[in-house]
């Protein structure tokens, strides 16, 4: 999913362009289904550790992209960047659509996947992602089929990764929004309770509700250096309750991405390592204070150049980027803890 960041003068951009004019595809699912991906082709991947791509970006000169010599992998599943055009029939993105691919690369891969290049080799598949409106359309059956097709691609990509790239190495799963929708299924199908679970360092399942007992064997992370577990959060402005996606009595997991400690649900601004916003090469430390409220992660309205235009209270689009440095450091810490525990 993606959410709108409106201002009084138009749309305010933090990570990627959201097209407010996105419309539900005409017709039923089955029209104009794009060609299936071939994951032996490097072009079917938005990021691979042996090619130059947006996941190689490093915001600060003191930080390093260690992918060349990393001992672990990161399988990253990007969020929705396909909004289509008015009058289109396609419920799923064409992986040969250069505009969609460029949007993905310049947004999610650069601003989210790059978080992990200090921890491991990044593998981020392109996939026939479901149209944004799959999450809002009244055409429930068509939307479900579009999401199933998207998951099929993610599943095929993971299988290819395991067979051709992994070679028994430890790995991290990281995802956002629609990507997390697919990651939940992927973990249930391939990892939870399977022998490969011993290779899992951590899963960052961000921007989509995940209950604490969603998996049979895999449990929520309790401490900053726990491994073999999962983290999840959805970010909103303090005191705001999003009625349609608020699930207070369903045991939804909320990890505080500053403390990483289930016994410390709140943090002060001074504890936060920092955010990366629209200006990729500028770190904003001490940006927000955090508080877990039921199934939500609450933060204060952040202050940065242009923040007076930020009127939305749903910070979904910045779930990772408000905590860019915090997630980056935590991924490195958990990698270190994984090897120490082994």
User: Three-class SS of residue 194?
Assistant: coil
Q: Which residues pair with 130 in a beta bridge?
A: 92
CB 188 within 8 Å of CB 215: yes
Among 222, 221, 246, 226, CA closest to 297: 246
Per-residue pLDDT of the chain (342 residues; tens, 9 = 90+): 443 332 322 223 333 344 444 677 877 887 779 999 999 999 999 999 999 999 999 999 999 999 999 999 999 999 999 998 755 778 999 999 999 999 999 999 999 999 999 999 999 999 999 999 999 888 899 999 999 999 999 999 999 999 999 999 999 999 999 999 999 999 999 999 999 999 999 999 999 999 999 999 999 999 999 999 999 999 999 999 998 899 888 899 999 999 999 999 999 999 999 999 999 999 999 999 999 999 999 999 999 888 888 899 999 999 999 999 999 999 999 999 999 997
Residue 171, judged by CB atoms within 10 A of its CB (0-12, 13-18, 19+), counts as: buried
CB 22 within 8 Å of CB 132: yes
122 phi and psi angles, rounded to 5 deg: -100, 125
Specify the pLDDT at position 87: 59
Distance of alpha carbon 131 from alpha carbon 25, whole angstroms: 8
Q: Which residues pair with 211 in a beta bridge?
A: 252
Rg of the Cα trace of the chain?
Answer: 19
Distance of alpha carbon 239 from alpha carbon 224, whole angstroms: 26
Specify the pLDDT at position 17: 40
Distance of alpha carbon 175 from alpha carbon 182, whole angstroms: 9
């Amino acid at each position: 999913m993606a959410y709108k960041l409106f201002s009084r003068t138009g749309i305010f951009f933090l990570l990627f362009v959201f097209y407010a004019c996105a419309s539900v595809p005409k017709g039923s699912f089955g029209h104009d289904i794009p060609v299936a991906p071939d994951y032996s082709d490097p072009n079917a991947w938005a990021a691979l550790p042996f090619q130059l791509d947006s996941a190689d970006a490093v915001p600060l000169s003191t930080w390093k992209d260690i992918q060349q010599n990393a001992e672990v992998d990161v399988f990253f599943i990007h969020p929705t960047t396909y909004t289509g055009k008015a009058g289109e029939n396609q419920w799923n993105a064409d992986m040969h659509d250069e505009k969609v691919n460029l949007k993905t690369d310049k947004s999610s891969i650069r601003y989210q996947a790059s978080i992990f290049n200090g921890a491991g080799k990044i593998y981020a598949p392109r996939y026939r992602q479901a149209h944004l409106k799959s999450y809002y359309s009244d055409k429930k059956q068509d939307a479900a089929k579009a999401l199933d097709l998207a998951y099929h691609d993610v599943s095929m990509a993971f299988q290819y990764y395991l067979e051709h790239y992994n070679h028994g190495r430890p790995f991290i799963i990281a995802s956002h929004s629609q990507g997390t929708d697919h990651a939940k299924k992927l973990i249930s199908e391939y990892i939870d309770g399977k022998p490969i679970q011993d290779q899992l360092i951590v899963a960052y399942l961000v921007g989509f509700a995940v209950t604490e007992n969603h998996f049979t064997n895999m449990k929520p992370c309790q401490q900053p250096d726990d491994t073999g577990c999962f983290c999840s959060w959805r970010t909103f402005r303090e005191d705001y309750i999003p009625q349609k996606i608020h699930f207070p009595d369903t045991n939804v997991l909320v990890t505080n991405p500053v403390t990483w400690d289930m016994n410390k649900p709140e943090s002060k601004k001074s504890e936060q390592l920092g955010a990366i916003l629209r200006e990729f090469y500028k770190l904003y430390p001490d940006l927000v204070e955090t508080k877990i409220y039921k199934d939500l992660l609450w933060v204060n309205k952040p202050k940065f150049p242009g923040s007076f235009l930020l009127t939305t209270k749903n910070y979904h689009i910045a779930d990772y980027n408000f905590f860019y440095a915090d997630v980056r450091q935590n991924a490195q810490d958990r990698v270190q803890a994984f090897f120490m525990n082994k």
